[in-house]
C-alpha cells in the first residue's frame, strides 16, 4: 500500500547520553576498580601473613575451631539461666577435664604399645628376612623372572636401611625441642584463645554481619546457615563413625 503523500514517517528518537549518566558510569567504574584493588591487596596481605606466621597459627586456629563447635553449648547454657561468662567457664573446664582424662587413659596404653613394638621390631625383621631367604630360587626365577639372590640382597639392604632411617627420624623428632614446644603451646594457648573467642562469639558474629551489604544480608545469612548445618552433619557423622569403630 502506498504511503499518503505529504505525511512523513516519524523517526524513533535515540536518547542522547546525558552528562549525569556518563558521570554515574565513570563513578561506578572507578568504584569497581577500587574494590577489586582493595580485595587484591587484602588477599596478598592475608597470604603473606599466613606464610610468615604459619609456624605459630595452629593454636589460634584450633582455638577458633573449638569456640565454633562449643558455641551452641554455650547458647544452651545461657537459655538455662547462666551468663555468657559462666557458661564459657563451665564449658572450658569440662573440656579440659575430658582432654586430661583422655590423655591419662590413652597415653599409658600408647606408650606400652610403642615400647612393645620397639622391643619386638628386631624379631619382626628377623622373621621377615627368614621368610625372604626361604623362597625357592627356581620358583622365583620361573614365576617372576628375577634372580633370587639379588632379590634377597636388595630386600635385606632395604630393611636394614629402612630400620636405620626410622630410628634416626624418631630420635631426631624426640630429641628436638620443637615438637615439645609445639605440643605445649597447643595445649596452653588453645584453651585461652577458645575462652575469649567463645566469650565474644556472638558479638563477633554481629560485627561481621554488620559488614555485609544490606542488599545481600539475607543471602549471606542463608549461606552461613547452610554451611553450619552441613558442617554439623559432617562432624556428627564422623564422630558416630569413630565411636562405632
Give the other-Cβ count within 10 Å of 87's Cβ: 23
Query: Is 5 contained in some domain?
Result: no
Q: How far apart are CA 107 and CA 111, in angstroms?
A: 6
Asked if the structure places residue 35 within a domain, the reply is yes
Provide the domain count of the chain: 1
Q: With 50 as the cut, is the pLDDT of residue 1 above it?
A: no
What does the pLDDT look like over 12-54, one tens digit per residue? Answer: 444 444 555 666 777 777 777 887 888 889 889 988 888 887 7
Dihedrals φ, ψ of 80, to 5°? -80, -5
Domain of residue 42 covers 26-54
DSSP letter at 200?
T
Q: What is the pLDDT of residues 89-129, one digit of tens each?
A: 998 898 888 888 888 888 788 778 877 877 777 777 777 76
Quick check: is 175 in a domain?
no
Q: Which has the minimum average pLDDT: 4-13, 153-162, 215-224, 229-238?
A: 4-13
- List the alpha helices (DSSP H) in the chain: 19-52, 58-79, 84-133, 137-144, 148-175, 177-199, 201-211, 217-244
Q: What is the pLDDT of residue 14?
A: 46
Q: Is 49 inside any structural domain? A: yes
17 falls within a domain: no
Supply 205's cell numbers: 558474629
Contact 30, 38 (CB under 8 A): no
Q: Is 32 contained in some domain?
A: yes
Amino acid at each position: 500500500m502506498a504511503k499518503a503523500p505529504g505525511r512523513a514517517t516519524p523517526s524513533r528518537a535515540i536518547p542522547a547520553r546525558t552528562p549525569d549518566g556518563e558521570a554515574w558510569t565513570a563513578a561506578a567504574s572507578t568504584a569497581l576498580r577500587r574494590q577489586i584493588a582493595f580485595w587484591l591487596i587484602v588477599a596478598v596481605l592475608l597470604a603473606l601473613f599466613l606464610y610468615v606466621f604459619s609456624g605459630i597459627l595452629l593454636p589460634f586456629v584450633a582455638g577458633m575451631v573449638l569456640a565454633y563447635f562449643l558455641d551452641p553449648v554455650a547458647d544452651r547454657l545461657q537459655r538455662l539461666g547462666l551468663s555468657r561468662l559462666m557458661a564459657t567457664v563451665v564449658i572450658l573446664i569440662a573440656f579440659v577435664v575430658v582432654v586430661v582424662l583422655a590423655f591419662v587413659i590413652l597415653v599409658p596404653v600408647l606408650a606400652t604399645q610403642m615400647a612393645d613394638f620397639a622391643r619386638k621390631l628386631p624379631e619382626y625383621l628377623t622373621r621377615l628376612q627368614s621368610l625372604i631367604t626361604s623362597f625357592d630360587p627356581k620358583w622365583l626365577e620361573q614365576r617372576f623372572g628375577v634372580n633370587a639372590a639379588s632379590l634377597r640382597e636388595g630386600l635385606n639392604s632395604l630393611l636394614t636401611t629402612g630400620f636405620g632411617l626410622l630410628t634416626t627420624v624418631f630420635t631426631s623428632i624426640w630429641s628436638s625441642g620443637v615438637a615439645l614446644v609445639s605440643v605445649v603451646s597447643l595445649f596452653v594457648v588453645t584453651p585461652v584463645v577458645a575462652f575469649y573467642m567463645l566469650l565474644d562469639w556472638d558479638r563477633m558474629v554481629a560485627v561481621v554481619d554488620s559488614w555485609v551489604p544490606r542488599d545481600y544480608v539475607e543471602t549471606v545469612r542463608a549461606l552461613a546457615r547452610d554451611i553450619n548445618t552441613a558442617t554439623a552433619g559432617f562432624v556428627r557423622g564422623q564422630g558416630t563413625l569413630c565411636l562405632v569403630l
